Amino acid sequence: MLTARPCNNAGLSNGDHPSRNRVHNIMTSNFASSQVQPFSSHKIEPPSNKIETSLDELKAMYTFMYRMRRMEIAADMMYKAKLIRGFCHL
């Protein structure tokens, strides 16, 4: 099953740049591919605007991100309870 999602710029405020929100996604059962507008760079080679990953890798990244955020929330609570001394930059 192959689906393509067109870019959608509806709902942008005047401050949003439409090219930052143009993402083209193609997903199959175990594979995801995205392409964004080309990046501009100064005196270096710009990064690729194509991303290819598997759904398992996306799930692993989300799980890791969620775990890190929960740790940050716990550290913030401990800092506010004065269990962490000094400065806690989150």
pLDDT of residue 4: 42
The Cα–Cα gap between 2 and 12 comes to 28
Compute the average pLDDT of residues 45-53.
86
Mean pLDDT, rounded, of the chain: 77
The Cα–Cα gap between 32 and 52 comes to 6
pLDDT tens sequence across 53-80: 898 998 999 999 999 999 999 999 999 9
pLDDT of residue 3: 42
Query: Which tokens is 59 given?
Result: 């799930």
Residue 9: helix, strand or coil by DSSP?
coil
pTM: 0.54
pLDDT of residue 8: 46
Tell me the one-letter amino acid at 13.
Answer: S
